[in-house]
């Protein structure tokens, strides 16, 4: 179950996206991974398996994001997809009561099959449709807390909350792997810490300007 | 698949940037500018100056214009940037192209990108690029950016014009070729063996200088992956076959896939827009079994998936859409060994490089295969089956549907009610059959009613009620419908008869019933498939039994439009029980399909392969040896079979140098057990078969046709004995019948041979028992079979003993008229030796070759002259025999004879009194010069 270390000393983690069909799982991950230069490629390839390299606190992480089929009739295949995953993102649609129930089912199943080893995030998507919201934030937050998960609101349409959600997820993954940090990423020869971020969970901002996708050079500089 | 990767924190350029120019670095990260980092090997740490660093920090060109549209980035083909020191460049796809301000134009490949985070947790992009955008060392160290194909791997390992390479390659190759795997190894044992080889090869290759130079993690990864791919490619054909043998459950999967292979993509919820990509994707997937390593197989998966997206304008293929498509592709791919393939990809990926991606594709296909065995697929299929309605709901359709529904439910009452004259009409008639002036219009009105349902009614698939009854296995309904004179051989849109559908869905009862009611057994559907083809490809053993039991009529060697015989299909889909069944009933194992594959080569299952292959090589060794490529089967198969043997020795992929000793010896050296193997292949009790064989030959000798028929299983009970209880049905497998039949269970087939290679037909020809010959021929006995050492055909034997009616029968049924035995004698030679005028005349009429030479150079005329058969000599001359031909001893026929009459005949010929070649055969020899008529050509294809 432990995350593997890949070629350049990068931590390979498997992240599964679960949730009913049409809650926008794929849009979330596409938003996150797409940026200026791989934009075109993704369109011609498929969107169900995507990779993203991250460096947080000098530690390299490669997120391997697995989209899964959400239709009811494929539900039984779930375990094939989420076995051995390090993190799971369970998505529901804030305007759809039923999708939240399904999300709860997924969470229950995950906890049963994977135990507590899996970093869990519950995401309410389509936050741009605030006025049609049927799942109350309080309920969702409470539920998430009760299963040891974090809750986020995202809008794939407006590109809101997605980066934050993945960053938080990545940090938690790194924390989990923290004790067995791999030697290749600690290089004594350099002293400076690029970026110099501190790991604090409430540093997440939810009102980022809606600029470039990956937050690169697209104009997201504050 | 395997891509370049490095830890940028170890990169000299990145270190210089962050340590020597911290202010620049901080500025760039605060502003979320993009940073380019040339890859490790291309940078000299000492030579990095401020301007170099500034050149590699990129600002969006339109930094000041706030992009207000949310999708501003995606439309443009290229993105424009300006460097910190004011030079312009753009990103086009995977490349950075330098522009205004740079000394020269460069296209630099982006190797990978990584997100970094600044103190505010904002991300900025760092790109690792192939070389510096400007300046940098002249000499670029060689680098492989990614491994995509087998040849990439090959180049990566070997292509260096280096003698050391050659040497190591030789060592590794010789190690690979010494590989031995026991034929009964378990999958885990096979894997261990392969892993050991992998490690040894790894150690060997790592000694190479260019491999030792590799510094980065990705270089090492490439090396491991390339090694794995290289060695697996070499040993794949052996290992994979053995894995296929181990029964990882593929025949079960195949039954499911065959059952559902007629699924329509809409039934799986696949959107129309993907349909153009599906056939392309299927094509890609078909090459799966040609790929030799997990690396290549995954690549095949990847291509399959990406070719799907190509046709659609969709943003990307989501998992919601992908899975049903994969299910569809698995069903349609006709790959018979999914489980083995998935196992192989998972277990033999020793290097673990790029495994995340491999794992994803593996899992997706695994899920698709898994799904096929679940109930929910069956549900969508049954929706498909029940799709007998048309698009518009008219009265006709409603009635038709209720008719077909009742058929499917086996609701005899409503079926009859629907087909009968409605009560109110029949009540108003004078008499149910009345045709008086008053009644006739009422009846004809009823018959003209377009919404009326009848036995002729068809749905949009052009299926009748009988089709649905056969499909759903409703024998009683079939009986009723046939009583009402339904067309038993009605064809639907795919040219399927009810019998086809019954075979397709494994309804043995219906098959038997339809056959007993006279359904045509050899009808072909659109793909040229007979019902037997369908039963074989769908693994319905019991239906196969039912069909071959009607042996006289059933053509077991029919080739469909792909050239596949039923045996090809059974072998391909791994049905270990059907293969012997077919062989037992006269299926030929050396027919080639359009891909030039024999059934043995169509199979991935080693067990089936070895069985079939040993049959083929038995035949090869016993017939082509010394036959000089002449005559029926020997000539047809000799050369080709020899080359096939080489191919199979080297495994399916001929590129392999490896010999697998076990299977090798099996296919190469089987001659010792020919007779036994041949007669025991299909039976578990060799002694029983031998006994039966002895009995059979005695019966032929005694002209006891009843006994012969019985021994071939033609009669359920023998004339003598076996009294008392009778079987429920000839094919019944119930306990009672099993016991009852126990003593006689081993039925012989017409291909059995004794230790000299004699078939029943040889014996019958020798004994001149016309009735038995007739019977054997009606059972498709091979007419040109040859004995083991003498290479005699039945025709030779019949001619030797002048059984002219047998000769006649053989010739009429496609026996080759000019086969030569081990000494080159044709049947005509035999006749001439013995002066059998009657048989000789028959041979001559059928185009026997009067110029044929035996090993001594004798023509038939030489023989006739030597043995003083004057009238025969005359006949030969009339058919064009040359009296002047000299044999190996330089003798003409005239020199050989001691008979005055013969001298006289030859003199007459010389003087022209007898005109040479005055008689012509009835028809010219059917296949002069080309391979002769062989068994499988006998069938008149409908």
DSSP code string of B574-606: T-TTHHHHHHHTT--S----TTS--HHHH---H
Average pLDDT over residues A161-165: 89
Nearest one of B586, B591, B516 to B560, comparing CA atoms: B591
Residue with tokens 């058929």: B407
Q: Which residues contact B144 (CB under 8 A, 6 or more apart)?
A: B4, B152, B155, B156, B222
B119·A220 Cβ contact <8 A:
no
* Cα B787 to Cα B780: distance, rounded to the nearest angstrom: 18
Q: Kindly tell me if the per-residue pLDDT of B741 is higher than 60.
A: no
Residue of B nearest to A198 (CA): B119
Q: What is the 3-state secondary structure (H, E, C) of B531-563?
A: HHHHHHHCCCHHHHHHHHHCCCCCCCCCCCCCC
B118·A195 Cβ contact <8 A:
yes
Of B157-166, B606-615, B625-634, B674-683, where does the model show the most confidence? B157-166
Residue of B nearest to A183 (CA): B7
Phi, psi of A121 (to 5 degrees): -130, 135
Q: Kindly tell me if the per-residue pLDDT of B29 is higher than 50.
A: yes
Query: pLDDT band at residue A121, thresholds of 50, 70 and 90?
Result: very high
pLDDT tens digits for B558-582?
888 888 888 888 888 878 778 888 8
Q: What is the pLDDT of residue B936?
A: 41
Percent of the residues in chain B that have a pLDDT greater than 70, as a whole number: 74
Q: Kindly tell me if the per-residue pLDDT of B231 is higher than 90.
A: no
Q: How many whole angstroms from its chain centre is CA B23?
A: 67
* Cα B640 to Cα A117: distance, rounded to the nearest angstrom: 61
Point out the domain boundary residue: B551, B582, B604.
B551
Same domain for B270 and B176, yes or no, is no
Same domain for B510 and B405, yes or no, is yes
Nearest one of B643, B574, B603 to B289, comparing CA atoms: B603
* Cα B576 to Cα B580: distance, rounded to the nearest angstrom: 7
Q: Kindly tell me if the per-residue pLDDT of B487 is higher than 50.
A: yes
The CATH number for B891's domain is 1.25.40.20
B115·A44 Cβ contact <8 A:
no
pTM: 0.60
3-state helix, strand, coil in chain A (%, to 5): 40, 20, 40
> Is any Cβ of chain B less than 8 angstroms from the Cβ of A206?
no
Same domain for B519 and B474, yes or no, is yes
Same domain for B337 and B410, yes or no, is no
Residue of A nearest to B91 (CA): A37
Q: What is the pLDDT of residue B669?
A: 38
* Cα B412 to Cα B421: distance, rounded to the nearest angstrom: 16
Which 92-151 residues of chain A touch chain B by CB within 8 A? none
Task: Please report whether residue B57 resides in a domain.
Answer: yes
A120 SS3 class = strand
- Shortest CA gap A34–chain B (Å): 10
Q: Which residues contact B290 (CB under 8 A, 6 or more apart)?
A: B653
Q: Which two tokens stand for residue B189?
A: 């044992």
* Cα B569 to Cα A206: distance, rounded to the nearest angstrom: 61
DSSP B140: P
* Cα B18 to Cα B616: distance, rounded to the nearest angstrom: 72
Same domain for B288 and B181, yes or no, is no
- Per the CB < 8 A criterion, the answer to whether A2 and A86 are in contact is no
B93·A10 Cβ contact <8 A:
no
Q: Kindly tell me if the per-residue pLDDT of B680 is higher than 80.
A: no
Query: pLDDT band at residue A87, thresholds of 50, 70 and 90?
Result: very high
**B403: domain range?**
393-432+455-551
* Cα B248 to Cα B237: distance, rounded to the nearest angstrom: 17
Give the bridge partners for B35, in sequence order: B57, B126
Please state the CATH superfamily assignment of the domain spanning residues A4-207 in this structure. P-loop containing nucleotide triphosphate hydrolases (3.40.50.300)
> Is any Cβ of chain B less than 8 angstroms from the Cβ of A1?
no
* B224 neighbourhood in chain A, CB within 8 Å: none
* Cα B653 to Cα B647: distance, rounded to the nearest angstrom: 8
> Is any Cβ of chain B less than 8 angstroms from the Cβ of A220?
yes
> Taking the CA atoms of chain B, what radius of gyration do you get in angstroms?
38
Q: How many whole angstroms from its chain centre is CA B750?
A: 26
B748 SS3 class = coil
Q: Which residues contact B937 (CB under 8 A, 6 or more apart)?
A: B814
Q: How many whole angstroms from its chain centre is CA B914?
A: 58
- Range with the lowest mean pLDDT among A212-221, B46-55, B134-143, B421-430? A212-221
Q: What is the pLDDT of residue B215?
A: 62
Indicate the residue of B19, B121, B217 with minimum beta-carbon distance to A203.
B121
Task: Please report whether residue B408 resides in a domain.
Answer: yes
Query: pLDDT band at residue A91, thresholds of 50, 70 and 90?
Result: very high
pLDDT tens digits for B753-771?
887 788 888 888 888 888 8
* B376 neighbourhood in chain A, CB within 8 Å: 73, 76
Q: Kindly tell me if the per-residue pLDDT of B73 is higher than 60.
A: no
Nearest one of B230, B245, B252, B250 to B189, comparing CA atoms: B245
> Is any Cβ of chain A less than 8 angstroms from the Cβ of B714?
no
A12 SS3 class = strand
Query: pLDDT band at residue B545, thresholds of 50, 70 and 90?
Result: confident
Residue with tokens 């979320």: B32
Q: Which residues contact B140 (CB under 8 A, 6 or more apart)?
A: B42, B131
Query: pLDDT band at residue A208, thresholds of 50, 70 and 90?
Result: very low
Q: For CA atoms B582, B584, B585, B588, give the dihedral sign.
A: positive
Indicate the residue of A43, A198, A211 with minimum beta-carbon distance to B316.
A43
pLDDT tens digits for B274-330?
777 788 888 888 888 888 888 888 888 888 887 776 555 555 677 778 888 888 888
Task: Please report whether residue B875 resides in a domain.
Answer: yes
Residue of A nearest to B5 (CA): A8
> Is any Cβ of chain A less than 8 angstroms from the Cβ of B375?
no
Nearest one of A170, A1, A29 to B123, comparing CA atoms: A170
- Shortest CA gap A138–chain B (Å): 26
- Per the CB < 8 A criterion, the answer to whether B229 and B207 are in contact is no
Residue of B nearest to A218 (CA): B60
Would residue B880 be called left, alpha or beta, if left means φ above 0 and alpha means ψ between -120 and 50 degrees? left
Beta-carbon count within 10 A of B104 CB: 6
B113·A38 Cβ contact <8 A:
yes
Nearest one of A13, A25, A15, A14 to A102, comparing CA atoms: A25
pLDDT tens digits for B358-386?
888 888 888 888 888 877 676 666 555 54
B9·A58 Cβ contact <8 A:
yes
Task: Report the b/e string of B167-187 with b at 16+ CB within 10 A.
Answer: ebbeebbeebeebebebebeb
Query: pLDDT band at residue B71, thresholds of 50, 70 and 90?
Result: very low
pLDDT tens digits for B827-853?
888 888 888 888 888 888 888 888 888
Same domain for B863 and B884, yes or no, is yes
Nearest one of B454, B569, B470 to B515, comparing CA atoms: B470
Q: Which residue has the higher pLDDT, B816 or B716?
A: B816
Would strands B95-98 and B88-92 be described as parallel, antiparallel, or unpaired? antiparallel
Same domain for B239 and B254, yes or no, is no
Which 37-76 residues of chain B touch chain A by CB within 8 A? 58-60, 63, 66-67, 70, 73-74
Task: Please report whether residue B564 resides in a domain.
Answer: no
Residue of A nearest to B303 (CA): A45
Q: What is the pLDDT of residue A89?
A: 93
Q: Which residue has the higher pLDDT, B88 or B720?
A: B88
Q: Which residue has the higher pLDDT, B806 or B933?
A: B806
Task: Please report whether residue B642 resides in a domain.
Answer: no
Q: What is the pLDDT of residue B734?
A: 58
pLDDT tens digits for B409-460?
777 777 777 777 666 666 677 766 666 777 777 767 666 666 667 777 777 7
Count: domains in chain B: 5
Q: Which two tokens stand for residue B607?
A: 């067990």
Task: Please report whether residue B737 resides in a domain.
Answer: no
Query: pLDDT band at residue B391, thresholds of 50, 70 and 90?
Result: very low
Would strands B107-117 and A11-18 be described as parallel, antiparallel, or unpaired? unpaired
Phi, psi of A93 (to 5 degrees): -100, 120
With 0-12 / 13-18 / 19 or more C-beta atoms within 10 angstroms meaning exposed / middle / buried, residue B261 is: middle
* B81 neighbourhood in chain A, CB within 8 Å: 217
Q: What is the pLDDT of residue A143?
A: 92
Average pLDDT over residues A70-95: 87
Average pLDDT over residues B186-196: 84
> Is any Cβ of chain A less than 8 angstroms from the Cβ of B376?
yes
Q: For CA atoms B72, B73, B77, B81, give the dihedral sign.
A: positive
> Is any Cβ of chain B less than 8 angstroms from the Cβ of A39?
yes
* Cα B17 to Cα B25: distance, rounded to the nearest angstrom: 6
With 0-12 / 13-18 / 19 or more C-beta atoms within 10 angstroms meaning exposed / middle / buried, residue A115 is: exposed
Same domain for B545 and B479, yes or no, is yes
Q: What is the pLDDT of residue B647?
A: 38
Average pLDDT over residues B919-929: 56
Distances (CA, A) of B420 to B416, B452, B455, B484, B799: 6, 10, 10, 10, 63
Residue with tokens 């290289």: B230
Query: pLDDT band at residue B541, thresholds of 50, 70 and 90?
Result: confident
- Per the CB < 8 A criterion, the answer to whether B569 and B334 are in contact is no
- Per the CB < 8 A criterion, the answer to whether B42 and B130 are in contact is yes
* Cα A151 to Cα A145: distance, rounded to the nearest angstrom: 8
> Is any Cβ of chain A less than 8 angstroms from the Cβ of B366?
yes
- Per the CB < 8 A criterion, the answer to whether B925 and B847 are in contact is yes
Q: Which two tokens stand for residue B329?
A: 């592709």
Task: Please report whether residue B573 resides in a domain.
Answer: no
Same domain for B404 and B546, yes or no, is yes
B318·A47 Cβ contact <8 A:
yes
* Cα A8 to Cα B126: distance, rounded to the nearest angstrom: 15
pLDDT tens digits for B150-187?
888 888 887 667 777 788 888 888 888 877 777 777 88
* Cα A150 to Cα A145: distance, rounded to the nearest angstrom: 7
Q: Kindly tell me if the per-residue pLDDT of B938 is higher than 60.
A: no
Same domain for B768 and B907, yes or no, is yes
Q: What is the 3-state secondary structure (H, E, C) of B156-182?
A: HHHCCCCHHHHHHHHHHHHHHHCCCCC
Indicate the residue of B70, B73, B366 with minimum beta-carbon distance to A80.
B366
Average pLDDT over residues A94-114: 89
Same domain for B224 and B290, yes or no, is no
Phi, psi of A7 (to 5 degrees): -55, -60
Q: What is the pLDDT of residue B739?
A: 56
Q: Kindly tell me if the per-residue pLDDT of B16 is higher than 80.
A: yes
* Cα A51 to Cα A87: distance, rounded to the nearest angstrom: 14
Q: What is the pLDDT of residue B138?
A: 65
Domains of chain A, residue spans: 4-207
Task: Please report whether residue B919 resides in a domain.
Answer: no
pLDDT tens digits for A187-202?
333 333 333 333 333 3
Q: Whole-number mean pLDDT of chain A?
A: 73
A7·B353 Cβ contact <8 A:
yes
* Cα B242 to Cα B250: distance, rounded to the nearest angstrom: 14
Residue of B nearest to A17 (CA): B319
Alpha carbon dihedral B183, B189, B192, B193, in 10-degree steps, equals -20
Beta-carbon count within 10 A of B213 CB: 11
* Cα B224 to Cα B226: distance, rounded to the nearest angstrom: 6
Query: pLDDT band at residue B933, thresholds of 50, 70 and 90?
Result: very low
* A21 neighbourhood in chain B, CB within 8 Å: 320
Q: Which residues contact A16 (CB under 8 A, 6 or more apart)?
A: A65, A66, A68, A81, A82, A85, A87, A88, A89
Query: pLDDT band at residue A151, thresholds of 50, 70 and 90?
Result: very high
DSSP A88: E
Indicate the residue of B118, B310, B374 with minimum beta-carbon distance to A197.
B118
């Amino acid at each position: 179950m432990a995350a593997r270390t890949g070629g350049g000393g990068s931590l390979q983690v498997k992240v599964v996206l679960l949730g009913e069909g049409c809650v926008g799982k794929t849009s979330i991950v596409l938003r996150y991974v797409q940026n200026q230069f791989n934009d075109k490629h993704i369109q011609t390839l498929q969107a169900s398996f995507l990779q993203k390299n991250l460096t947080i606190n000098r530690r390299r992480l490669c997120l391997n994001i697995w989209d899964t089929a959400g239709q009811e009739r494929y539900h039984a295949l779930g375990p094939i997809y989420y076995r051995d995953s390090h993190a799971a993102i369970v998505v529901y649609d804030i305007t759809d009561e039923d999708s939240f129930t399904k999300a709860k089912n997924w969470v229950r199943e995950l906890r049963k099959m994977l135990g507590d080893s899996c970093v869990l995030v519950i995401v309410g998507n389509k936050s741009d449709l605030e006025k049609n919201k049927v799942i109350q934030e309080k309920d969702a937050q409470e539920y998430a807390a009760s299963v040891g998960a974090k809750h986020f609101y995202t809008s794939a349409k407006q590109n809101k909350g997605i980066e934050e959600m993945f960053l938080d997820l990545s940090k938690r993954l790194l924390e989990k792997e923290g004790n067995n940090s791999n030697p290749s990423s600690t290089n004594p020869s350099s002293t400076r810490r690029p970026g110099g971020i501190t790991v604090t969970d409430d540093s997440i901002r939810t009102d980022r300007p809606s600029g470039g996708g990956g937050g690169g050079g697209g104009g997201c500089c504050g | 698949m395997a891509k370049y990767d490095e830890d940028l924190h170890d990169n000299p350029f990145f270190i210089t940037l962050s340590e020597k120019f911290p202010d620049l670095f901080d500025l760039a990260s605060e502003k979320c500018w993009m940073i380019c980092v040339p890859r490790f090997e291309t940078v000299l740490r000492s030579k990095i100056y401020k301007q170099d660093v500034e050149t590699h920090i990129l600002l969006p060109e339109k930094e000041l214009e706030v992009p207000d549209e949310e999708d501003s980035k995606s439309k443009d083909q290229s993105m424009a940037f300006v460097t910190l020191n004011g030079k312009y460049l753009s990103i086009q796809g995977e490349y950075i192209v330098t522009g205004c301000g740079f000394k020269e134009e460069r296209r630099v490949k982006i190797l990978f990108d990584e997100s970094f985070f600044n103190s505010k947790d904002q991300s900025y992009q760092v790109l690792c690029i192939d070389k510096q955008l400007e300046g940098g060392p002249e000499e670029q160290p060689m680098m492989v950016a990614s491994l995509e194909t087998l040849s990439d791997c090959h180049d990566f390992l070997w292509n260096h014009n280096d003698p050391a390479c050659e040497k190591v390659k030789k060592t590794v190759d010789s190690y690979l070729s010494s590989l031995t795997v026991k034929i009964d190894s378990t999958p885990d044992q096979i894997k261990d063996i392969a892993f050991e080889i992998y490690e040894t090869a790894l150690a060997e290759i790592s000694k190479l200088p260019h491999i030792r130079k590799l510094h980065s993690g990705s270089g090492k990864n490439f090396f491991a992956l390339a090694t794995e791919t290289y060695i697996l490619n070499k040993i794949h054909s052996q290992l994979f076959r053995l894995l296929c043998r181990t029964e990882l459950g593929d025949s079960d999967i195949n039954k499911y896939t065959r059952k559902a292979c007629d699924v329509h993509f809409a039934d799986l919820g696949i959107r129309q827009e993907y349909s153009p990509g599906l056939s392309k994707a299927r094509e890609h997937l078909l090459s799966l079994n040609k790929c030799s390593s997990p690396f290549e197989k995954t690549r095949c998966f990847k291509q399959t998936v990406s070719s799907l997206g190509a046709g659609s304008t969709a943003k990307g293929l989501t998992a919601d859409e992908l899975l049903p498509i994969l299910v569809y592709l698995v069903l349609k791919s006709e790959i018979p060994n999914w489980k083995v393939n998935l196992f192989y990809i998972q277990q033999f990926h020793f290097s673990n490089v790029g495994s995340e991606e491999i794992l994803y594709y593996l899992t997706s296909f695994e899920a698709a295969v898994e799904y096929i065995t679940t109930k929910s697929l069956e549900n969508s299929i049954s929706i498909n089956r029940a799709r007998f309605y048309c698009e518009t709901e008219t009265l006709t359709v409603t009635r038709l549907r209720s008719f077909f529904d009742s058929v499917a439910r086996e609701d005899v009452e409503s079926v009859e009610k629907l087909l009968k004259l409605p009560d109110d009409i029949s009540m108003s008639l004078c008499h149910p059959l009345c045709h008086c002036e008053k009644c006739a219009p009422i009846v004809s009105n009823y018959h003209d009613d377009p919404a009326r349902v009848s036995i002729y009614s068809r749905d949009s698939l052009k299926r009748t009620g009988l089709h649905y009854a056969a499909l759903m296995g409703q024998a009683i309904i079939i009986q009723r419908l046939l009583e009402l004179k339904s067309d038993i051989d009605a064809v639907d849109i795919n040219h399927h008869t009810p019998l086809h559908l019954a075979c397709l869905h494994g309804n043995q009862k219906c098959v038997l019933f339809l056959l007993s009611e006279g359904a045509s057994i050899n009808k072909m559907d659109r793909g040229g498939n007979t019902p037997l083809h369908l039963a074989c490809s769908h693994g319905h053993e019991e239906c196969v039994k039912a069909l071959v039991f009607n042996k006289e009529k059933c053509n077991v060697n029919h080739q469909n439009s792909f050239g596949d015989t039923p045996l090809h299909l059974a072998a391909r889909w791994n049905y270990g029980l059907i293969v012997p069944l077919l062989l037992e009933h006269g299926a030929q194992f050396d027919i080639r399909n359009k891909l030039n594959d024999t059934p043995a080569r169509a199979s991935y299952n080693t067990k089936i392969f070895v069985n079939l292959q040993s049959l083929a090589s038995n035949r090869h060794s016993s017939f082509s040896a010394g036959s000089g490529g002449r005559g029926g089967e020997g000539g047809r198969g000799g050369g080709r079979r020899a080359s096939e043997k080489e191919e199979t020795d080297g495994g399916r992929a001929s590129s392999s140098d490896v010999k697998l000793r076990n299977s090798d010896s099996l296919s190469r050296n089987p001659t010792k057990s020919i007779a036994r193997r041949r007669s025991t292949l299909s039976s578990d009790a060799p002694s029983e078969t031998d006994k039966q064989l002895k009995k059979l030959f005695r019966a032929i000798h005694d002209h006891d046709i009843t006994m012969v028929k019985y021994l071939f299983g033609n009669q359920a009970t023998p004339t003598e004995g076996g009294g008392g209880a009778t079987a429920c049905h000839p094919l019944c497998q119930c306990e009672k019948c099993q016991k009852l039949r126990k003593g006689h269970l081993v039925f012989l087939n017409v291909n059995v041979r004794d230790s000299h290679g004699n078939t029943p037909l040889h014996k019958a020809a020798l004994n001149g028992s016309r009735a038995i010959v007739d019977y054997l021929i009606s059972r498709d006995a091979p007419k040109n079979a040859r004995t083991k050492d003498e290479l005699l055909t039945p025709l030779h034997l019949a001619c030797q003993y002048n059984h002219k009616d047998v000769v006649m029968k053989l010739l009429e049924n496609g026996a080759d008229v000019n086969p030569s035995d081990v000494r080159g004698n044709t049947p005509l030679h035999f006749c001439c030796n013995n002066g059998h005028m009657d048989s000789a005349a028959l041979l001559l009429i059928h185009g026997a070759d009067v110029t044929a030479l035996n090993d001594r150079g004798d023509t038939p005329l030489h023989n006739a002259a030597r043995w003083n058969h004057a009238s025969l000599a005359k006949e030969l001359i009339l058919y064009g025999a040359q009296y002047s031909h000299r044999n190996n001893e330089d003798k003409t026929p005239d020199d050989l004879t001691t008979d005055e009459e013969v001298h006289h005949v030859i003199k007459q010929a010389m003087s022209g009194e007898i005109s040479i070649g005055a008689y012509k055969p009835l028809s010219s020899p059917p296949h002069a010069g080309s391979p002769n008529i062989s068994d499988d050509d006998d069938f008149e294809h409908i």
